[in-house]
Structure 1
Amino acid sequence: MAKTQARETVVLGMLGTTLDMGRGPKRWEKWRPTVGLCQQEDLVVHRLELLTLPGHDELVRTVTEDIAQVSPETRVRPTVLTIQDPWDLEETYGALLDYVKAYPFQPEQEDYFVHITTGTHIVQISMFLLVESRHIPGRLVQTSPPRSGRDHGGPGEHALIDLDLSKYDTLARRFQQEQREGLSFLKAGIDTRNPAFNRLIERIEQVATRSRAPLLLTGPTGAGKSQLARRIYQLKKARRHVSGPFVDINCATLRGDGAMSALFGHVKGAFTGALSDRPGLLRQANGGVLFLDEIGELGADEQAMLLRALEDKRFLPVGSDKEVESDFQLIAGTNRELQAEVERGRFREDLLARINLWTFRLPPLRERPEDIPPNLLYELAQASQALGTQVTMNKEAQEHFLRFATSPEARWSGNFRDLNAAVLRMATLAPGGRITREGVDEELDRLRAAWARSGPKQVSTVDLVVEVLGEERAEALDRFDRAQLSEVLAVCRQARSLSEAGRALFAQSRSQKKSVNDADRLRKYLARFGLGWADVAGRGLSEVA
């Protein structure tokens, strides 16, 4: 029976031009990493690929002879790398990569280790990357001096690091878990299912934890801008990225002379009624986060002062001739199209450029039908807390509410404010804290009536068909096709995008399909009449949101 050939251990390592240095007999009284590596009792090095820089031939000879003395079984193969500056990352990594690509690795017969104790930090980083990327099919080995210190001889100790199975995987999992916790925190723990919204929150988490640049949150009223801004602050506070407070104000509430004072503060006697100094919101937010909701409502003077404060972190309080400082991160919110406001002369272009580095649009609730069920559960929990009693919703009532909530009939013009109010009303009126089908019906009637009062007048669907196709083509349609097209056109006119219109039109059938593309279904339907999205959409609306 053939004897199995023992695998050999091969170490690739850079000569330490400082740590491996030693002359005369006293060199044995000093810890030298490369020599010490070959003295480890439980790590037999059969071959050492000793990488060196030009001009160190004498040191290479000394180290090779010393290794032969302490570890006769180790064969040392020196290789000179043409690296002029071992602190230059591009040159060093390139030279090491060329060496590795030409090396005849035989992982079936040999075990490989990379010694990362010696060499410059750039060399060590490059070796780490080559192992991590699997250009070198091996593991890392780290040596350390004896407990008595580097000035004492001896082999010291070593540790093996496997990048696939080691503590580095644990660290990576910790970072991933931290990110997941951050995402969940930003979503208030709600298990949201809308892919676009989840991608949005993931990007916000990345930016919020890495940058102090201004953030701009856009979206309709009630989409959750204020709540998200506060959670961004709380996440940054927990990660110790900010130490100051969260200060917020709805700019729509700032009017006249009081706006400048509220934002930038004033000194005593600055105007009638200024009986004492006032710091202002910007100074209160020093070291923290300032959230200016509805920033488009600010006047021209306030916009100019805010721009100066953002750029220089300095500004003048009202009535003062001495500047004050405040270093804060700005989160701005708006339900307006600020670029359009710039074109109308109502918003400063330079201020928009300053706050528009990171802009995130929060979609309205009607664009996230998948997220209504988990948000319903969240609102039930919030209602329970507000009322001080456990509020539940029986299965029939919940299914009935969700059928309406995810249908085209549900406008959700107030977005999450509408949903919050609806659940709170149902919970308050629920006998014994249990919402029934009857309670849901009562609330749905209330919502329909409220939306009917506040909503825009419906455009005549008959006129829409004529408007889009022309009178002659409209008259040529069968009554069935004309009625169906009328409904489709009405939905398209009120939708913000082709995707949103498709979701509204196919809300019921889409739940029965494994794979859905509502936008494509609607596009094909319109094509039957020679129409595209541009022909049927409201002015300025995009094809895909």
Structure 2
Amino acid sequence: MQAKRTVVIGFLGTQLDNGRGAARWEKWRPSIALTQHEDKIIDRFELLYAGSQFDNLVRQVSQDIASVSPETRLISHELPISDAWDFENVYGALYDFANSYPFDPDKEDYWIHITTGSHVVQICMFLMTEARYFPGRLVQTSPPKRQATGNPGSYALIDLDLSRYDQITQRFTREQAEGVAFLKSGIATRNAKFNGMIDEIERVAIKSKAPMLLMGPTGAGKSFLARRVYELKKSRHQIDGKFIDLNCATLHGDGAASTLFGHIKGAFTGAGSDRPGLLRSAHKGLLFLDEIGELGLDEQAMLLKAIEEKRFFPVGADTEVQSDFQLIAGTNRDLGKEVMAGRFREDLYARINLWTYELPGLAQRPEDIEPNLEYLLTQYSAETGERVRFNKEAHERFMRFATLPTSAWKGNFRDLSAAVTRLATLSEAGRITDGVVDEEIRRLKRMWQHHDKPASGMEIDLADIMGSEAATQLDLFDALQLQAVIKICRQSNNMSDAGRTLYAVSRAAKAKPNDADRLKKYLARFDLDWDRVCQLN
């Protein structure tokens, strides 16, 4: 079998390859030196250069290579490069050269010489070899440690096929596994679907700056995961700014735009000074907007512009400001349905829906309750300095209850975290006993039963909520209406959720609907508030 020919593709070194008179042989010149190695014959040298002003140097290099390596055939190529430091100009010229060059990998080995040329030329040569436009290996040459006439120095071949380097492949695999473990806080979760989702989120977090949408019920861990994504990117030096976390359900009326986008002094009554807003605070960082569906349509339009153009107008300002942030949005709603109902902008939904992940509730991940239980106990011990553990019977009893299909875990990981805190606090000498577990099980059952009462159709006892005297003073019309309103409140996650259901028709006619405020004022007519009607006190 005939050996392959070795072909070098390299750029003329306008400084390194230069030299005059006999003294030039005392200087190390990379292109000439590459053809001087006795153990390697270069069959052909494709010498690239930019501009006719280097014609004389090309002729000199060609003559010198011919004198030290008669076997080497040198072919020069003048490329249309006007500025060797202009990335677009250099890359375009090299791309055109590669597309027109008659590569024959079956018969020839290609060495891409990256020692000469401007740094931009070297980077472009690297990129085109990595992308296989140049189907070869990089070659890096180095001068001899001690300068001597005829000493060509050394050369090293670099193969960019990383699959051939087991240690590098293992390192990347290990780093990815570490990233996944970091996102899960080291919790050895067992749910296959959840683990697959975290695997993908790790890859997306490292490679993409596009918005991410986390869906799932309250307490499923959306805010926690968003913060871990931020910390992972920061550890990889991919993000420099702050982590800004906002629950959009806490925004009300005109203050929503000011909180997000800032305002200038005098923009409205009470605006005594400039306010930067959270979007600017998140510059070069990550902004997590939980319950993004709670934003008004005006704020949604402003947010879309900020995501796409990285600039926006603070409230009352005539001049735009800039902020380059990455967005992670969270919601416990089906935003597709919200779009169809006209409550969420279709263009904003399309923009944040590139990477969408639905976090399952704890009841859908029963196999993950035990590792999370151990994690929360370890966390409690670290925070309090007290080591707390279950005894064997208590652990088995709690796990039997926790994994029952009837165990609703309405608050998801918030319920589990609260349960662990109570269990650990009531533990006896650091041991969680059967009695402590039994009382916690009764507490959780009562809590979940109360949560389910409205759905079971139980009547609302106004006397129990507002007192017998106040209840008897209500007209039947007001009493029936108030009972219906309280039922909706108890079926909803928060005041905004309830208000949106109660005012679904009339809110469409308002430019800036504030459903939570309307509901708050309605309840206040009866000296009631959200906590009282939902019996949260």
Shorter-chain-normalised TM-score: which range? 0.5 to 0.7
Task: Tell me the SS of whatever aligns to 1:99.
Answer: coil
Matches within 5 A, 1:163-182: 170-182=167-179
2:451 counterpart (438, 442, 454): 454
The residue type equivalent to 2:98 in the other structure is T
Instruction: Quote the residue 2:143 is aligned against.
Output: 145
2:280 counterpart (283, 306, 317): 283
Q: Contact 2:144 / 2:151 at 8 angstroms: preserved in 1?
A: yes
1:50 aligns with 2:44: yes
Matches within 5 A, 1:4-403: 12-14=6-8, 16=10, 18=12, 28-33=25-30, 36-37=33-34, 39-40=36-37, 44-45=39-40, 47-50=41-44, 52=46, 63-67=65-69, 76=71, 87-89=93-95, 92=98, 98-102=103-107, 114=111, 116-117=113-114, 142-147=140-145, 154-159=151-156, 170-403=167-400
The residue type equivalent to 1:63 in the other structure is I
Q: Contact 2:32 / 2:61 at 8 angstroms: preserved in 1?
A: no
Matches within 5 A, 1:433-472: 433-455=430-452
In the aligned structure 2, how far is the partner of 1:267 from the partner of 1:15?
A: 59
CA pair 424-154 structure 1, distance change in 2 beyond 3 A = same
Shift of residue 358, structure 1, vs aligned partner: 2.2
- 1:69-97 per-residue CA deviation (whole Å, 9 max, x = no partner) reads xxxxxxx475989999995448637857x
Instruction: Quote the residue 2:423 is aligned against.
Output: 426
Instruction: Quote the residue 1:486 is aligned against.
Output: none
In the aligned structure 2, how far is the partner of 1:203 from the partner of 1:413?
A: 27
CA pair 364-53 structure 1, distance change in 2 beyond 3 A = same
Task: Tell me the SS of whatever aligns to 2:104.
Answer: helix
The residue type equivalent to 2:281 in the other structure is Q
The residue type equivalent to 1:443 in the other structure is E
Shift of residue 296, structure 1, vs aligned partner: 0.6
The residue type equivalent to 2:105 in the other structure is V
In the aligned structure 2, how far is the partner of 1:325 from the partner of 1:164?
A: 41
In the aligned structure 1, how far is the partner of 2:9 from the partner of 2:274?
A: 67
- 1:36-56 per-residue CA deviation (whole Å, 9 max, x = no partner) reads 34655xx723x5443547999
- 1:15-45 per-residue CA deviation (whole Å, 9 max, x = no partner) reads 65635788985663443446534655xx723
For normalisation by structure 2, the TM-score amounts to: 0.67
In the aligned structure 2, how far is the partner of 1:89 from the partner of 1:445?
A: 71
Q: Contact 2:410 / 2:448 at 8 angstroms: preserved in 1?
A: yes
CA pair 283-125 structure 1, distance change in 2 beyond 3 A = closer
Shift of residue 142, structure 1, vs aligned partner: 3.4
The residue type equivalent to 2:240 in the other structure is S
The residue type equivalent to 1:246 in the other structure is F
In the aligned structure 2, how far is the partner of 1:57 from the partner of 1:317?
A: 63
- 1:398-434 per-residue CA deviation (whole Å, 9 max, x = no partner) reads 3333333333222222111111112111111111111
The residue type equivalent to 2:243 in the other structure is F
In the aligned structure 1, how far is the partner of 2:209 from the partner of 2:105?
A: 41
Q: Contact 2:10 / 2:113 at 8 angstroms: preserved in 1?
A: no
In the aligned structure 2, how far is the partner of 1:190 from the partner of 1:357?
A: 27
- 1:370-398 per-residue CA deviation (whole Å, 9 max, x = no partner) reads 32222111111122234331111234433
The residue type equivalent to 2:68 in the other structure is D
CA pair 282-35 structure 1, distance change in 2 beyond 3 A = closer
In the aligned structure 2, how far is the partner of 1:256 from the partner of 1:158?
A: 69
In the aligned structure 1, how far is the partner of 2:112 from the partner of 2:327?
A: 47
The residue type equivalent to 1:249 in the other structure is L
The residue type equivalent to 2:334 in the other structure is E
Instruction: Quote the residue 1:535 is aligned against.
Output: none
In the aligned structure 2, how far is the partner of 1:360 from the partner of 1:388?
A: 36
Shift of residue 458, structure 1, vs aligned partner: 8.7
Task: Tell me the SS of whatever aligns to 2:258.
Answer: helix
In the aligned structure 2, how far is the partner of 1:126 from the partner of 1:261?
A: 48
In the aligned structure 2, how far is the partner of 1:131 from the partner of 1:9?
A: 23
Instruction: Quote the residue 2:485 is aligned against.
Output: none
What is the identity percentage for the equivalent residue pairs of Structure 1 and Structure 2? Answer: 52
Q: Contact 2:126 / 2:138 at 8 angstroms: preserved in 1?
A: no
Shift of residue 204, structure 1, vs aligned partner: 1.9
The residue type equivalent to 2:391 in the other structure is N
Task: Tell me the SS of whatever aligns to 2:429.
Answer: helix
The residue type equivalent to 2:357 in the other structure is F
CA pair 275-92 structure 1, distance change in 2 beyond 3 A = closer
The residue type equivalent to 1:14 in the other structure is V
In the aligned structure 1, how far is the partner of 2:389 from the partner of 2:114?
A: 62
In the aligned structure 1, how far is the partner of 2:20 from the partner of 2:145?
A: 23
CA pair 231-403 structure 1, distance change in 2 beyond 3 A = same
Shift of residue 298, structure 1, vs aligned partner: 1.3
For normalisation by structure 1, the TM-score amounts to: 0.66
Shift of residue 337, structure 1, vs aligned partner: 0.6
CA pair 18-316 structure 1, distance change in 2 beyond 3 A = closer
Task: Tell me the SS of whatever aligns to 1:100.
Answer: coil
Shift of residue 117, structure 1, vs aligned partner: 4.9
